[in-house]
Structure 1
Amino acid sequence: MVFLTALAPVAALYVLATTAAAYSTVSYETLESFPSPGDEFDIKKGSILAPILRPRVSGTEGNVAVRQHLVDFIKTQLPDWTIELHNSTSITPVSKGKEVPFVNIIATRDPPNVKTGDVGRLALVAHYDSKLTPEGFIGATDSAAPCAMILHAARSIDKALTKKWEAMGDDLDGLDEPKGVQLLFLDGEEAFVSWSDTDSLYGARALAQDWETSFHPATSTYQTPLDSIDLFVLLDLLGAANPVVPSYFKTTHWAYKHMAVLEHRMREKGLFKSSPNHASKLKMRNNKKRAEPYFLVDSEKADHGDFIGGGIADDHIPFMMRGVEILHMIPTPFPNQWHEKEDDGEHLHMESVEDWTRLVTAFTAEWMELEGHFDLKEQRRAALDEKSEFMIP
């Protein structure tokens, strides 16, 4: 991606955020029960994150290995999700006239017995390729950590989805607006030489173009797979300390405020590990509180305020150009290690990584209206035992 160009109280934020769309708030009890990634995000041996922390330039063995890891996780940990690989090829500035393969991973979970064209989806999106230069570039924030966040969030809400839809039974047929979740792991976001309209966003451009002309049956609620995306949530450059994420788009500011409410609520309850007021840090300072920093800094921006949505080129662009609504979770300014060799596992701020994971999980749970469908006792046990059975040998 490249550049192209005092917070409100929780109660007030809640009122603002609930005015835009029907939305089901999750309780504090549910927020507290979400499992931590724990050992699964260990940068050396963690089952989710560690396999992504390697060079993975499109068309290379590293890229193939990371893609296989993502697919294997979905197949083993999310067996009720459908997986599709979207293939395309393109000549790049360094391929000497040869076509380079780009493979997008699409994982989808829709309500059972509802036709594909009748389901609107929340899309959680990150790119899984890495930059060609500097040599050996890992891209931990860009975007290994976001990929790991999405995998963990999907698994955290998966059983609740099953429980909700099983409880509804035949009532699913009467849903006014059936909702599903889609994971998009996009290939070829990075430029091989210098960012341009043709040397960047290879996978995103190909997928958006194909989906624009892939039509659902004429009687469907949504005309194409692009139309089926109710909200495209793009995670990028997340995992450094003290991120500042503005609200970039006026039309999705309501969704941004929903996520901001969740951040405020979780900080208020001491659930953010990166907070200077987390219990573990307050104890060392004799319970003296400090000013609370926020990831989402535009929570009180007016809906008619100024928005800078066109200022950053990223994987959302080909979708936005075709009318898809975008919620872009990317910090401004970019992390100091952006496109530097230091963007590796050792430079991740793991407390922030875990906090973003919890925030994305909670946002997805609210979007899918899952309150009351989580097994809180089971999740508490999982939260206490952070050692995963899905570990690298």
Structure 2
Amino acid sequence: MSALPTLLNLLFAAVVLFVAPSLAYQPLSDTQLKAIPAPLNSDFDIKTGALLAPILIPRVPGTPGQAKVQKHFVDFFSRELPEWDISWQNSTATTPLSGKKQIPFQNLIFRREPPWTKERGPGRAALLTLVAHYDSKISPEGFIGATDSAAPCAVLMHVARTVEGYLKKVYEKGVSGELGKEGREDPKREVGVQILLLDGEEAFKEWTDTDSLYGARSLSEEWENTPYPALSRFANPIRQIDLFVLLDLLGSADPGVPSYFQTTHWAYKNMATVEARMRALGLLESKPKDPFLPEAGKLKEHFGRAYVGDDHQPFMAKGAPVLHMIPTPFPHVWHKIEDDGEHLDLPTVRDWARIVTAFTIEYLEATTGEAGAAGGGKEGKGEDAAAAAAKQGTTDGEEKAGEGAGKGP
């Protein structure tokens, strides 16, 4: 891993420059929560599921298996979500196993933003950013990585398809109200969503700063060095990230996802509230011993230095606020050949799809009908950037399992 002071200096400098817009967060009413379409069993069947099954194959970077999965993602968005923009970010790198041979890494970006921001040019919309990696480990041979991270990718596909039904109505209403026209700009309504499916998260030999996070490192660097025109609202694509929500190692029963960062604890609490309300309403299938998100009541003084190394690191170092949805301890199948479809707990997978979908709808305020429930709020948004950096505290990730740990082997 890189020296801790260097990481902290980069993190502090980036956060000081990053000032997120102050946006409302309006919880859904019970009626609205009940109305959210539930995931279909047929989408998440491990053999025939339209979303999940095609991802449950080995998908090592640069292999035919990975190309099949890439096609699955692109075909899905092209066919079912034609209003979403699709783009690729490509890079190559050598790995400890490839010698001088360059291995391709291909990130996929699916973006939906308000029409009135697109009309005014790039860099206008703040973007809720939902993320998972889609590559699988090169070893053990035949490794599937169902929790790591086929299931999270399928969850995000479900989220995109469900949320689109809401966004279409909201955007149509905004267009009819001439939002974005001169004199009618409203930053609170200039919020979109993007899904990043990142390549090359896994180490090829041993988790280090250079043998891991290939796609995330490349994309974050390119975005930081891609300036928008002078009159844009944001300086570059990194600054557009309103919240970076990373899903990883999800799909085993009884997950326990901690709240890792004080600066995004407000978002964690809102998602935990979604889970609690959906359970109370009988909308979730799983029967865990404890909530998936058990730390809603975590106090300021209980946030420490530990976090889990993962795809968020290069973005966080450049100032993006991160909500890391990864359980601690890791699933018992982590990096074992048993991390396959048969070892997924499908009620848990479908419940993650429900929870993340509801959180996304709330975050985007993607409703046009009945008023939402009272409460909620983005406590950490729009605060002084230097104060935010101080509240983020220090981090020290080591690329192995355990406290302050990374995902690497």
What TM-score bracket applies, with the shorter chain setting the length? 0.7 to 0.9
Of the three residues 186, 191, 202, the one matched with 1:175 is 186
The residue aligned with 1:116 is 122
Q: What does the per-residue CA deviation read over 1:58-89, in whole Å, with 9 as the maximum and x for residues that have no partner?
A: 11111111011111111111100000010000
Quote the Cα distance in structure 1 between the aligned partners of 2:305 and 2:136: 24
* Contact map agreement 1:24 1:371 (CA 8 A) in 2: no
Quote the Cα distance in structure 2 between the aligned partners of 1:356 and 1:373: 25
1:25 is displaced (CA, Å) by 1.3
The residue aligned with 1:134 is 140
Structure 2 matches for 1:328-339, cutoff 5 A? 328-339=324-335
Could you tell me which amino acid in structure 2 is paired with residue 172 of structure 1? L
* Contact map agreement 1:87 1:104 (CA 8 A) in 2: yes
The residue aligned with 2:201 is 189
Residue 220 of structure 2 corresponds to residue 208 of structure 1 = yes
The residue aligned with 1:63 is 66
Q: What does the per-residue CA deviation read over 1:308-366, in whole Å, with 9 as the maximum and x for residues that have no partner?
A: 56431100000001010000000000000000000000000001001000000000000
Residue 24 of structure 2 corresponds to residue 22 of structure 1 = yes
Of the three residues 289, 294, 298, the one matched with 2:295 is 298
* Contact map agreement 1:222 1:228 (CA 8 A) in 2: yes
Change (3 A) 1:182 1:373: farther
Quote the Cα distance in structure 2 between the aligned partners of 1:305 and 1:151: 37
1:297 is displaced (CA, Å) by 0.9
Structure 2 matches for 1:1-393, cutoff 5 A? 22-35=24-37, 36-114=39-117, 115-169=121-175, 170-173=177-180, 174-177=185-188, 178-275=190-287, 293-302=290-299, 304-308=300-304, 310-372=306-368
DSSP-derived class of the 2:123 partner: helix
The two structures have a TM-score, normalised by structure 1, of 0.84
Quote the Cα distance in structure 1 between the aligned partners of 2:70 and 2:81: 16
* Contact map agreement 1:243 1:331 (CA 8 A) in 2: yes
RMSD: 1.7
* Contact map agreement 1:139 1:343 (CA 8 A) in 2: yes
Quote the Cα distance in structure 2 between the aligned partners of 1:149 and 1:234: 12
1:29 is displaced (CA, Å) by 1.9
Q: What does the per-residue CA deviation read over 1:149-206, in whole Å, with 9 as the maximum and x for residues that have no partner?
A: 0000110010210101111224421222300000000000000000000000000000
Quote the Cα distance in structure 1 between the aligned partners of 2:291 and 2:164: 28
Once the two structures are overlaid, the 10-residue window that deviates more, 109-118 or 257-266, is 109-118
Q: Which runs of 4+ in 1 moved over 6 A?
A: none
1:305 is displaced (CA, Å) by 2.7
Once the two structures are overlaid, the 10-residue window that deviates more, 172-181 or 306-315, is 306-315
Identity across the alignment (%): 53
* Contact map agreement 2:226 2:237 (CA 8 A) in 1: yes
Change (3 A) 1:309 1:268: farther
Quote the Cα distance in structure 2 between the aligned partners of 1:366 and 1:116: 25
Structure 2 spans left out of the alignment, 5+ residues: 5-21, 371-409
Structure 1 spans left out of the alignment, 5+ residues: 5-19, 277-291, 375-393
The residue aligned with 2:7 is none
DSSP-derived class of the 1:227 partner: helix
Change (3 A) 1:340 1:373: farther
DSSP-derived class of the 2:179 partner: helix
* Contact map agreement 2:170 2:367 (CA 8 A) in 1: no
Quote the Cα distance in structure 2 between the aligned partners of 1:188 and 1:147: 14
Quote the Cα distance in structure 1 between the aligned partners of 2:304 and 2:322: 13
DSSP-derived class of the 1:185 partner: strand
1:256 is displaced (CA, Å) by 0.4
Quote the Cα distance in structure 1 between the aligned partners of 2:44 and 2:305: 31
Quote the Cα distance in structure 2 between the aligned partners of 1:130 and 1:295: 24
1:37 is displaced (CA, Å) by 2.7
